[in-house]
Amino acid sequence: MSQTPPPRLAYVSGQLLPEDDAKISIFDSAVMLGNAVTESTRTFAGQPFRLEEHIRRLYRSLKVARINPGMTQANLLETTLEVFEANRPLLKAGDDVWIVHNISAGVSIPGSNPQQSHSATIMIFTAHLDLRGWAKFYREGCHAVTSMSRMIPSQALDARIKNRSRMAYTLADSETRLVDPDAQCVILDIHGFVAENKGGNIFAVRDGELLTPTSENCLEGLSRQTVLELAGKLGFPARETRLLPYDLYTADEVFFTSTPYCIMPATKFNGLPVGDGQVGPMTKSLLQAWSELAGVDIVAQALAQLG
Amino acid sequence: MSQTPPPRLAYVSGQLLPEDDAKISIFDSAVMLGNAVTESTRTFAGQPFRLEEHIRRLYRSLKVARINPGMTQANLLETTLEVFEANRPLLKAGDDVWIVHNISAGVSIPGSNPQQSHSATIMIFTAHLDLRGWAKFYREGCHAVTSMSRMIPSQALDARIKNRSRMAYTLADSETRLVDPDAQCVILDIHGFVAENKGGNIFAVRDGELLTPTSENCLEGLSRQTVLELAGKLGFPARETRLLPYDLYTADEVFFTSTPYCIMPATKFNGLPVGDGQVGPMTKSLLQAWSELAGVDIVAQALAQLG
Amino acid sequence: MSQTPPPRLAYVSGQLLPEDDAKISIFDSAVMLGNAVTESTRTFAGQPFRLEEHIRRLYRSLKVARINPGMTQANLLETTLEVFEANRPLLKAGDDVWIVHNISAGVSIPGSNPQQSHSATIMIFTAHLDLRGWAKFYREGCHAVTSMSRMIPSQALDARIKNRSRMAYTLADSETRLVDPDAQCVILDIHGFVAENKGGNIFAVRDGELLTPTSENCLEGLSRQTVLELAGKLGFPARETRLLPYDLYTADEVFFTSTPYCIMPATKFNGLPVGDGQVGPMTKSLLQAWSELAGVDIVAQALAQLG
Amino acid sequence: MSQTPPPRLAYVSGQLLPEDDAKISIFDSAVMLGNAVTESTRTFAGQPFRLEEHIRRLYRSLKVARINPGMTQANLLETTLEVFEANRPLLKAGDDVWIVHNISAGVSIPGSNPQQSHSATIMIFTAHLDLRGWAKFYREGCHAVTSMSRMIPSQALDARIKNRSRMAYTLADSETRLVDPDAQCVILDIHGFVAENKGGNIFAVRDGELLTPTSENCLEGLSRQTVLELAGKLGFPARETRLLPYDLYTADEVFFTSTPYCIMPATKFNGLPVGDGQVGPMTKSLLQAWSELAGVDIVAQALAQLG
Amino acid sequence: MSQTPPPRLAYVSGQLLPEDDAKISIFDSAVMLGNAVTESTRTFAGQPFRLEEHIRRLYRSLKVARINPGMTQANLLETTLEVFEANRPLLKAGDDVWIVHNISAGVSIPGSNPQQSHSATIMIFTAHLDLRGWAKFYREGCHAVTSMSRMIPSQALDARIKNRSRMAYTLADSETRLVDPDAQCVILDIHGFVAENKGGNIFAVRDGELLTPTSENCLEGLSRQTVLELAGKLGFPARETRLLPYDLYTADEVFFTSTPYCIMPATKFNGLPVGDGQVGPMTKSLLQAWSELAGVDIVAQALAQLG
Amino acid sequence: MSQTPPPRLAYVSGQLLPEDDAKISIFDSAVMLGNAVTESTRTFAGQPFRLEEHIRRLYRSLKVARINPGMTQANLLETTLEVFEANRPLLKAGDDVWIVHNISAGVSIPGSNPQQSHSATIMIFTAHLDLRGWAKFYREGCHAVTSMSRMIPSQALDARIKNRSRMAYTLADSETRLVDPDAQCVILDIHGFVAENKGGNIFAVRDGELLTPTSENCLEGLSRQTVLELAGKLGFPARETRLLPYDLYTADEVFFTSTPYCIMPATKFNGLPVGDGQVGPMTKSLLQAWSELAGVDIVAQALAQLG
**Percent residues over pLDDT 70 in chain F:** 99
Q: Is residue B46 within 8 angstroms of chain C, CB to CB?
A: no
Give the number of C-alpha atoms closer than 13 A to the C-alpha of residue F50, restricted to the C-beta side: 20
pTM of the model: 0.97
Query: Nearest CA to A214 among F202, F195, F240?
Result: F240
pLDDT band at D3 (very low <50, low <70, confident <90, very high): low
Sites in chain A below the pLDDT cut of 70: 1-3
Query: Nearest CA to E107 among F19, B253, F215, D250?
Result: F19
Give the number of C-alpha atoms closer than 13 A to the C-alpha of residue B86, restricted to the C-beta side: 22
- Answer whether D64 sits within 8 Å of A250, measured CB to CB: yes
- Answer whether E155 sits within 8 Å of B191, measured CB to CB: yes
**Mean pLDDT score of chain F, rounded to an integer?**
96
CA distances from E11 to E19, E272, F1, F19 (A): 9, 45, 42, 22
CA dist F211 and F197 (Å) reads: 15
Q: Is residue E179 within 8 angstroms of chain D, CB to CB?
A: yes
Residue B104 has pLDDT above 90, yes or no: yes
Query: Nearest CA to E172 among E156, E158, E188?
Result: E188
Q: pLDDT of D210-263, one tens digit each?
A: 999 999 999 999 999 999 999 999 999 999 999 999 999 999 999 999 999 999
**Which is higher by pLDDT, A7 or F141?**
F141
Mutating which of D59, D150, D214, D216 best tests the A interface, going by the most A Cβ atoms within 10 A? D216
Residue D1 has pLDDT above 50, yes or no: no
Instruction: Check residue E1 and give its pLDDT.
Output: 47
Residue D53 has pLDDT above 80, yes or no: yes
Chains A and E touch (3+ CB pairs under 8 A): no
CA dist A169 and E131 (Å) reads: 60
Q: pLDDT of E174-205, one tens digit each?
A: 999 999 999 999 999 999 999 999 989 999 99
- Domains of chain D and CATH, by start: 9-129 (3.30.470.10), 134-305 (3.20.10.10)
**Percent residues over pLDDT 70 in chain E:** 99
Find, in chain C, the residue whose alpha carbon is nearest to that of A185: C148
Give the nearest partner residue to F250 out of A63, A153, A214, using CB atoms.
A63
- All residues of chain B having their beta carbon less than 8 Å from the beta carbon of residue C245 are 158
CB neighbours (10 Å) of residue E53? 14
CA dist D120 and E66 (Å) reads: 66
Q: Is residue E153 within 8 angstroms of chain C, CB to CB?
A: no
Subunits adjacent to chain B (3 or more Cβ pairs under 8 Å): A, C, E, F
- Answer whether B63 sits within 8 Å of C191, measured CB to CB: no
Q: pLDDT of D119-152, one tens digit each?
A: 999 999 999 998 999 999 999 999 999 999 999 9
pLDDT band at E2 (very low <50, low <70, confident <90, very high): low
In eight-state DSSP terms, residue D161 is S
| C-alpha B201 chain-centroid distance | 9
CA dist B147 and F178 (Å) reads: 12
Give the range among B209-218, C109-118, F230-239 with minimum mean pLDDT: C109-118
Chains C and F touch (3+ CB pairs under 8 A): no
Q: Is residue E187 within 8 angstroms of chain C, CB to CB?
A: no
Q: Using alpha carbons only, what angle is made at residue E138 by residues E135 and E142, rounded to the nearest 5 degrees?
A: 90
Instruction: Check residue F2 and give its pLDDT.
Output: 56
Cβ atoms of residues A150 and C147 within 8 Å: no
Q: Is residue A293 within 8 angstroms of chain B, CB to CB?
A: no
Mutating which of E8, E9, E13, E31 best tests the F interface, going by the most F Cβ atoms within 10 A? E31
Q: Measured between CA atoms, how close is A172 to chain F, in angstroms?
A: 22
Q: Is residue E244 within 8 angstroms of chain C, CB to CB?
A: yes
State the SS3 of F276-305: CCCCCHHHHHHHHHHHHHHCCCHHHHHHHH
Cβ atoms of residues E254 and E274 within 8 Å: yes
- All residues of chain A having their beta carbon less than 8 Å from the beta carbon of residue C146 are 148, 175
Residue F307 has pLDDT above 70, yes or no: yes
Instruction: Check residue E3 and give its pLDDT.
Output: 66
Instruction: Check residue A18 and give its pLDDT.
Output: 97
- Answer whether E64 sits within 8 Å of B246, measured CB to CB: yes
Q: Is residue F239 within 8 angstroms of chain D, CB to CB?
A: no
Q: Measured between CA atoms, how close is B145 to chain A, in angstroms?
A: 14
- Answer whether A25 sits within 8 Å of B22, measured CB to CB: yes
**Percent residues over pLDDT 90 in chain D:** 92
- Answer whether F24 sits within 8 Å of E27, measured CB to CB: no
Q: Measured between CA atoms, how close is C222 to chain B, in angstroms?
A: 27
Q: What is the radius of gyration, based on Cα positions, of chain A?
A: 20
- All residues of chain D having their beta carbon less than 8 Å from the beta carbon of residue F214 are 241-242
CB neighbours (10 Å) of residue E211? 22
Q: Is residue B36 within 8 angstroms of chain F, CB to CB?
A: no
Cβ atoms of residues A180 and A266 within 8 Å: no
- All residues of chain E having their beta carbon less than 8 Å from the beta carbon of residue F23 are 23-26
Cβ atoms of residues F71 and F119 within 8 Å: no
Give the range among B286-300, E20-34, E108-122 with minimum mean pLDDT: E108-122
Q: pLDDT of B43-84, one tens digit each?
A: 999 999 999 999 999 999 999 999 999 999 999 999 999 999
**Mean pLDDT score of chain E, rounded to an integer?**
96
Residue E111 has pLDDT above 80, yes or no: no
Q: pLDDT of F72-106, one tens digit each?
A: 999 999 999 999 999 999 988 888 999 999 999 99
Subunits adjacent to chain A (3 or more Cβ pairs under 8 Å): B, C, D, F
CB neighbours (10 Å) of residue A242? 21
- Answer whether E114 sits within 8 Å of F27, measured CB to CB: no
Q: At what angle do helices B298-305 and B281-294 cross, to 10 degrees?
A: 90
Find, in chain E, the residue whose alpha carbon is nearest to that of C191: E191
- Answer whether D154 sits within 8 Å of A188, measured CB to CB: no
Q: Is residue B66 within 8 angstroms of chain C, CB to CB?
A: yes
Residue B94 has pLDDT above 90, yes or no: no
Give the number of C-alpha atoms closer than 13 A to the C-alpha of residue C293, restricted to the C-beta side: 19
Residue F30 has pLDDT above 80, yes or no: yes
Give the nearest partner residue to B155 out of A166, A174, A190, using CB atoms.
A190
Give the nearest partner residue to A178 out of C149, C245, C270, using CB atoms.
C270
Instruction: Check residue A171 and give its pLDDT.
Output: 97
Q: Measured between CA atoms, how close is D288 to chain F, in angstroms?
A: 30
pLDDT in tens, chain C (307 residues): 456 778 999 999 999 999 999 999 999 999 999 999 999 999 999 999 999 999 999 999 999 999 999 999 999 999 999 999 999 999 988 889 999 999 999 999 777 788 999 999 999 999 999 899 999 999 999 999 999 999 999 999 999 999 999 999 999 999 999 999 999 999 999 999 999 999 899 999 999 999 999 999 999 999 999 999 999 999 999 999 999 999 999 999 999 999 999 999 999 999 999 999 999 999 999 999 999 999 999 999 999 998 7
Q: pLDDT of A62-76, one tens digit each?
A: 999 999 999 999 999
Q: Is residue B246 within 8 angstroms of chain E, CB to CB?
A: yes
Task: Spell out the long-range contacts of B221-226 with Cβ–Cβ below 8 A and sequence spacing 24 or more.
Answer: B221/B257, B221/B258, B221/B259, B222/B50, B222/B53, B222/B54, B222/B57, B222/B259, B223/B257, B223/B258, B223/B259, B223/B262, B223/B263, B224/B257, B226/B50, B226/B257, B226/B262, B226/B290, B226/B293
